[in-house]
Structure formats: C-alpha cells, structure tokens
Amino acid sequence: DAGVIQSPRHEVTEMGQEVTLRCKPISGHDYLFWYRQTMMRGLELLIYFNNNVPIDDSGMPEDRFSAKMPNASFSTLKIQPSEPRDSAVYFCASTAGGGPAYNEQFFGPGTRLTVL
Amino acid sequence: QKEVEQNSGPLSVPEGAIASLNCTYSDRGSQSFFWYRQYSGKSPELIMFIYSNGDKEDGRFTAQLNKASQYVSLLIRDSQPSDSATYLCAVKDTGRRALTFGSGTRLQVQP
C-alpha cells in the first residue's frame, strides 16, 4: 500500500487566497483525521471523519476552514481566505475502525503551507 | 480541556545510555496511550501503544503506564544517534477515536 497520500507537499500563497489541501487515506481505513502542526501549538486535531461523515470539527479554528470527504478515498481541507497565521504543516491521517488495537493512526507526509 | 504534558527538552544522552521520556495526562478516563516518533521534517510514526498498567517491551523500547498517577513513560535502551528525534505522547480521548498529542520531547543522542 502507498500509505496516506497528501498533495501538494508545499504550498506558498498570499494572504487572502484560497488554499485547498488534499488527502487520500489508506484503502480500507474508515477514519480520516486532519491535523495542524506548529511550533507554538504542537500537533492539533482539526476535524475527523468516520465513513465519510464529519464526527468532530471542534478543532477547526474558524469559519475560514472547511473540510469535506465526498468518498472513502478522498478528502479536502480548504482555507478561504488564508491568513499568515495559518502557516503550518497540515497532516492527514487514517485508521481502521474496530477495537482499541486498531487505533494506530497512519500519517501522510504533510503539506507545508506558507501564507505570505 | 484535555491536556497531555511533556517536557520539551532537549533531552541529551550519550550513545548507549538509557533515555527516559515522560508524559502526564489530565483525562482520568483515558484508556489508550501511544508514543510516536517524529524526525525533523517528517511525519509522526507509531513506536508503541499501551493499554494496561505496567510495562510493555518491544525491542529497545519499553512503555510504562501508571493510570493512578496519570503518567506514561518511554524508555529507550542502548540509545543510538538514529534515535535523535521528537517523541510525541498521545492519548486516545474517552469515547471517541481522536488522539490528543503532547507537544513532544526532543531527544538528542550524542555519539
């Protein structure tokens, strides 16, 4: 398996522009997570999906952020409009459902976002 | 708000020594605990998980859990320079699949 795939790997944009990050989870995984990592705040959960349905979006910082999962193999995280404080590494992770033994989350390589 | 606390380090140990990494958590109902390793510029990768009080060993790594004290630790025996990384402690939130991560401890193993 190719693992969790994210694109783009790097994104540089100007303040006010729309940014779309993409994620393809591991095939067969029914949970998908979006995280943001910064030096100041560490690794923070933004939102997670189960079977394509958003379960908890309490970590989404504000209305400028939105996430979708139209099918089991694709998810997007959109920021509109982007601001310099959104600069971070955004990780997507996936895991298979089941008991506690299946809670290992596999992370994608991340998207490094820089908003100028 | 659920919290997971780690000393940011850096923790510096000589090659061959034992590195001890510690983590405390606030949610007394937490049941599952994870240690992830993250090399600079890379994504986190799982090293170990633990559910029961006591020790769990996997090669050079030992995870220790004390639920009464809300404390998790990771011991790395015979530390190698390749172990130099940031180690993230994560706690599975009660009643949901999400993990809360600590800010990580940076480990430096000196050759």
Percentage of chain A beyond pLDDT 70 is 94
Question: Distance (Å, rounded) from C-alpha B106 to C-alpha B85?
Answer: 6
Interface touch B98/A45, C-beta < 8 Å: yes
According to the model, what pLDDT value does residue B94 have?
A: 74
A116 touches B at CB < 8 Å = no
Chain segment B10-57, per-residue pLDDT in tens: 999 999 999 999 999 998 888 889 999 999 999 999 999 998 889 999
pLDDT above 60: residue A102: no
Give per-residue pLDDT as tens, A43-95. Answer: 999 999 999 999 999 999 889 999 999 999 999 999 999 999 999 999 999 99
- A vs B, Cβ pairs < 8 A, gives 48
Listed in sequence order, the residues at least 6 apart from B37 whose beta carbon sits closer than 8 Å to its beta carbon are B44, B45, B47, B85, B86, B87, B88
- Those residues whose C-beta lies under 8 Å from the C-beta of residue A91, and which sit 6 or more positions away, are A6, A34, A35, A36, A37, A43, A107, A108, A110, B43, B44
Q: Write out chain B residues lying below 8 Å of A97, CB-based.
A: 97
